[in-house]
Amino acid sequence: MGYNATTVRIAHVEGESGTAPLQFVRWDYPADERSIAGYYSKVGTSWLEMKYDKPAPHAIFKETARTPQHVELFDTGRTLWIRLKAKEALFSNDRKRWNALCKGKPAADGGQLLTLAPQK
């Protein structure tokens, strides 16, 4: 069975001082800790981290929170949380201490939500 991809444009992105939760489904970064560019993208109910140097997902996350300051993701396999903010990403292994991961930002248009539906 194959799948058809459907996209939904998300155009609203709040800044750090907004009161509404951040509304984006793609977050781009020019370089990670290894100087490799990539992005986080919401696909269905999961978030994928993709690196531009590889076609397969680098990591798969579940969204655990969405606030005016960040979108929080969790990788169960590594017990790793990521917070995607307006200008940077942070990481934590315990949700108490947060460390800088990389600079980046939501896609200019908020990104496109990709959903997968079975082909008919």
pTM: 0.77
The pLDDT tens digits of the residues spanning 4-61 come to 333 333 333 444 455 788 889 999 999 988 899 999 999 988 999 999 999 899 999 9
Distance CA 15, CA 22 (A): 8
pLDDT band at 3 (very low <50, low <70, confident <90, very high): very low
Burial 35-59 (b: 16+ CB within 10 A, else e): eeebbbbbbeeebbbbbeeeeeeeb
Residue ranges of domains in the chain: 3-118
How is residue 21 written in tokens? 């939760």
pLDDT at 20 (0 to 100): 87
pLDDT at 112 (0 to 100): 59
